Amino acid sequence: MMTIIVVVAVILVVIAGSQLLKIAELRALSKGELIYEVSEKEGKQSGLLMLGFFAAFMAFFAWQMWSWYGLKLPVSASAHGVDTDWLTGATYAVITPVFILTNGLLFFFCFKYSYSSTRKATFFSHSNKLEMIWTIAPSLVLTVLILMGLSNWNKIMTPIADEDDRVLIELTGQQFTWTARYAGADKKLGRSHVTLIEGVNATGVDATDDNAKDDKLVKGEFHLPVGMPVQFVFRSLDAIHSAYMPHFRSQMNCVPGITTQFNFVPTKTTEEMRKITNNDEFNYVLLCNKICGAAHYNMQMDIVVESQEDYDKWLAEQKTFVE
Amino acid sequence: MSTHHHHAKDFLFTYIFSTDHKMISKQFLVTGFLMGFIGLIMSTLFRLQLGWPGESFEMIELLMGSWQEDGVMAPDKYLSLVTMHGTIMVFFLLTAGLSGTFSNLLIPLQIGARDMASGFLNMLSYWFFFISSVVMLCSLFVEGGAASAGWTIYPPLSALPQAIPGSGAGMTLWLVSMSIFIVSSLLGSLNYIVTILNMRTKGMSMTRLPLTIWAFLLTAILGVLSFPVLLSAALLLVFDRSFGTSFYLSDIYIGGQVLEHSGGSPILFEHLFWFLGHPEVYIVLLPALGITSEIISTMTRKPIFGYRAMIGSMMAIGFLSFIVWGHHMFLTGMNPFLGSVFTFTTLLIAIPSAVKVFNYLTTLWKGNIVFTPATMFSVGLVSTFISGGVTGLILGNSALDINVHDTYFVVGHFHIVMGLSAIFGMFAGVYHWFPKLFGRMMNNKLGNIHFWITICCAYGVFFPMHFLGFAGVPRRYYTNSEFPMFDNMIDINVFISVCAILAMIGQLVFFFNFVYSAFRGPKAPMNPWKGNTLEWTSPVEHFHGNWYGEIPAVYRWPYDYSKVNANGEYVYGEDFIPQTTPLGDDEKDGGEH
């Protein structure tokens, strides 16, 4: 019944709309006007609306900053993340004025130069000087941004060479869970391959490899020592996953068939971050950020950052692979 | 009886299997808009889920039928909708719908040709597009549902039916549909290139071409060079899926089984996909930029500022678009040095883009702007091109991309800079060239209402997404409710969803205006906007051949608006000088310098 009423209502609206358009057209004709010609008055109204829109747009922008900017990720919990955030801020300092100024000019010109029958448009077809200015100015700004970005990128992407002074962790993604493997006392990860997956050996660690014997597999949550460089190696068993640890400004794809890597130094313990965010239930989290299947939205693992002592204690409680 | 038979045949070849570029243009337009409307409804459906996760909606129940009988969307159906929305919008609406409509309509009319170089190939191009649309829609109804690996269909997810139900028959049809689509696109593009290069009327040198034609030419070249790569990527994927090859697959353990595939790499697929995928952004964008260049110049009654710089920047954008694809793959484990190179080339694109924006602004400066709906949508395009473009500096910078990659920041960025800009350009084109398409005028008031609803709601949908991105909210999540850290985001999501629903309702105003005006709108005069280009010298009524008698010759560039002599009077008494007017003794051709 409801559906029939809705359908009838829609048909009536369409008919009424058609009739109104026809009437408007005939009325314009009777006044000797053509309905599709924009009158000067209508033009001025549109110009004014353009200016009004810009004001509303900026108000909307300000309102969003006011109400939603605070929802952004808390201060970076990794060493390189501080640089990332700084450079992001610097880029914003460049693009926000550009965004406001160019949009402002656009809508202001629309308002200022809306059609007037008494004025002529200015024939101004080119100016090499102006073209040079707005080719060179962005080039200079971009050169600076590119150089800063690249030095940052190269720093982030360099693997930690010192094997003694790092924590080595392999993260394996599979629909829809994560497994962390710690290198153990020998600081070396054993070989692994999908053909070796069997029962509890969920990521296919090679039991015959000596390096594998003291490896520790962890699910549910994994721990990191504060202040110590962590070298991650990523694997996937099925679809492509992406290991996203937003609080550490860290992300890397997990690709079946190859390993990828990323590293960072955690700088704030979970406890410290709970104080900073004023949230007793705060937890660092690893989440999947590459579409990987129906439950992609719930593929997560908690991360605990703690002091070296607490970390050593926790790691000692974890069972090694052969155990 | 015989006359009836004759009429039926006439109808068949005039409206269905037409080889006339104007009819084919209308076919592309109507099919593209229908597909676009379906894509729009899909987005509304998944916005319902994102705004009010897990709630039951009659609209979902009604439109998704037996799949969601309780009106609550399932996670894999959500991914299907996201995938199909992206595919339909990017390829069917903004590639075929936009380029197909306006390249077909305007290339012969603006260069002064009777039709495309090959009318028959042109017809085939449309019909391949039609078939691919039908196949794509059919894929919604097969077992397991439509493709659901995202519009980028990365394997192994897209290769293995056990990974997600949509990777079964739905994915097969997706690949079949896209292969047919690519054939359509190639036939169309080759035709456009050949026509533009060979069939220009007397006097129509390359520097007298309207910017629309330059845009269509460069778009077609991008298409011809990049779409075949997607075709090969799709074919290799078909082999992996159906014939046991391992181009993209290696070391996979799924559903309790180790697969036989060995030695392939999904990264290869990503490279092949984005080698099309990035130029595709500009295949979508360049026609819109060409259309608005033309409209802004005509409606400000001023020459486009920096005609040659506009062509140069489009060429630069086109060239650069082929060497930036890696910025979609910064986090695939590629060599960091390669990442640096892609950062460099990517950020370079900002330069020609900035040049275009400043040239648009200078064109508006001291103009005499006539606000038709086409003008407004063109202004809207410049705005979205700026607002979406600037955030590209964050995403294109590999070091910064790490933290916003695949978050809603990306969704906001590309919807504004590519989606909105291209659809605004398409709307502008439809309002502006409606008199050429249908011989009637659209209603301005409804057009204005349509514009204001659309731009307000569109910014309302996509601007807040940047804030979701700052908070680290990943895209393609069925719901954010599994993560306490995203609990505060629900307000933003509700806001976005409300705007999305309003935006959809706003489009109904357009569809009503479109259909009403096509049949009952006031009859169009030959040159309603007082334009200079050749299409406005062609009669309103449609017939094969475009001009009675000789094709007009061209003597000047298309942007002689408000040209005054030394006394400050219009050179020929009017504020526009059609391209068919011979140059005066002391006049210089605007395109020459």
Q: Write down the ipTM of this complex.
A: 0.95
Phi, psi of A257 (to 5 degrees): 100, -25
Of B164, B368, B489, the CB nearest to A116: B368
Q: Model confidence at B2, in pLDDT bands (50, 70, 90)? A: very low
- From chain B, pick out residues whose CB is under 8 angstroms from the CB of A94: 393
What's the average model confidence in pLDDT over B257-283? 95
Of A153, A285, A295, the CB nearest to B483: A285
Tens of pLDDT, residues B427-462 = 999 999 999 999 999 999 999 999 999 999 999 999
Is residue B315 classed as helix, strand or coil in its secondary structure? Answer: helix
- From chain B, pick out residues whose CB is under 8 angstroms from the CB of A247: 472
**In this structure, is residue A124 part of a structural domain?**
no
CB contact under 8 A, A293 and B157: yes
Residues in A 239-268 with any Cβ partner in B closer than 8 A: 239-240, 242, 244, 246-247, 249-253, 255-261
Q: What's the count of helices (H) and strands (E) in chain B, helices before strands?
A: 20, 2
Q: How many domains does chain A have?
A: 2
CA distance B248 to A128: 50
Arithmetic mean of pLDDT over chain B: 94
Q: What pLDDT was estimated at residue A53?
A: 97
Map out the domains of chain B with their CATH numbers. 19-55+68-531+547-554 (1.20.210.10), 555-593 (no CATH)
Mutation target among B79, B397, B577 for the A interface, most CBs of A within 10 A: B397
- From chain B, pick out residues whose CB is under 8 angstroms from the CB of A87: 397, 399-400
What's the average model confidence in pLDDT over B546-550? 93
Q: Give the strand pairing for B253-254 and B257-258.
A: antiparallel
Give the DSSP H/E element, type plus range, for residue B253.
strand B253-254
**In this structure, is residue A1 part of a structural domain?**
no
Please answer whether residues B155 and B67 qualify as being in contact, where contact means their C-beta atoms are separated by less than 8 angstroms: no
Q: Model confidence at B1, in pLDDT bands (50, 70, 90)? A: very low
Counting one residue from A and one from B, how many pairs have CB atoms under 8 Å apart? Answer: 371
CB contact under 8 A, A84 and B253: no
Is residue B523 classed as helix, strand or coil in its secondary structure? Answer: strand
Q: What pLDDT was estimated at residue B11?
A: 78
CB contact under 8 A, A88 and B394: yes
Using CA coordinates, name the residue in chain A closest to B157. Answer: A239
Q: Model confidence at B593, in pLDDT bands (50, 70, 90)? A: low
Q: Model confidence at B5, in pLDDT bands (50, 70, 90)? A: low
Q: What pLDDT was estimated at residue B4?
A: 57
What's the average model confidence in pLDDT over B234-246? 95
CA distance B406 to A275: 29
What's the average model confidence in pLDDT over B202-215? 96
Q: Rounded to whole angstroms, what are the CA distances from B345 to B316, B322, B327, B369, B494? A: 11, 10, 9, 36, 38
CB contact under 8 A, A35 and B376: no
**In this structure, is residue A121 part of a structural domain?**
no
Give B260-275 as a 3 state SS string. CCCCCCHHHHHHHHHH
Q: Within this chain, do residues A141 and A191 fall inside the same structural domain, yes or no?
A: no
Of A47, A71, A106, the CB nearest to B371: A47
Question: Does residue B313 carry a pLDDT above 50?
Answer: yes
Using CA coordinates, name the residue in chain A closest to B313. Answer: A135
Q: Within this chain, do residues A211 and A281 fall inside the same structural domain, yes or no?
A: yes
CA distance B459 to A60: 9
Mutation target among B63, B80, B148, B157 for the A interface, most CBs of A within 10 A: B157
Residues of chain A with pLDDT below 50 are: none
Q: Give the strand pairing for A300-306 and A221-225.
A: parallel
Q: Within this chain, do residues A140 and A199 fall inside the same structural domain, yes or no?
A: no
Tens of pLDDT, residues B361-410 = 999 999 999 999 999 999 999 999 999 999 999 999 999 999 999 999 99
Q: Within this chain, do residues A34 and A98 fall inside the same structural domain, yes or no?
A: yes
Q: Within this chain, do residues A152 and A203 fall inside the same structural domain, yes or no?
A: no
CA distance B212 to A112: 27
- The domain that holds A221 is classified in CATH as 2.60.40.420
Q: Within this chain, do residues A52 and A139 fall inside the same structural domain, yes or no?
A: yes
What's the average model confidence in pLDDT over B51-68? 81
Q: Within this chain, do residues A149 and A262 fall inside the same structural domain, yes or no?
A: no
How far apart are the CA of A115 and the nearest CA of chain B, in angstroms? 5
**In this structure, is residue A33 part of a structural domain?**
yes
Domain range spanning residue A300?
A: 163-317
Q: Within this chain, do residues A303 and A175 fall inside the same structural domain, yes or no?
A: yes
CB contact under 8 A, A195 and B258: yes
Q: Within this chain, do residues A209 and A257 fall inside the same structural domain, yes or no?
A: yes
**In this structure, is residue A41 part of a structural domain?**
yes
Of A68, A103, A150, the CB nearest to B386: A103
Q: Which two tokens stand for residue B39?
A: 């894509």
Q: What pLDDT was estimated at residue B56?
A: 86
Please answer whether residues B360 and B296 qualify as being in contact, where contact means their C-beta atoms are separated by less than 8 angstroms: yes
What angle in degrees, to the nearest 10, is found between the helix axes of A40-68 and B444-462? 10
**In this structure, is residue A139 part of a structural domain?**
yes
Q: Within this chain, do residues A151 and A215 fall inside the same structural domain, yes or no?
A: no
Q: Within this chain, do residues A76 and A217 fall inside the same structural domain, yes or no?
A: no
Q: What pLDDT was estimated at residue B312?
A: 96
Of A36, A43, A174, the CB nearest to B522: A36
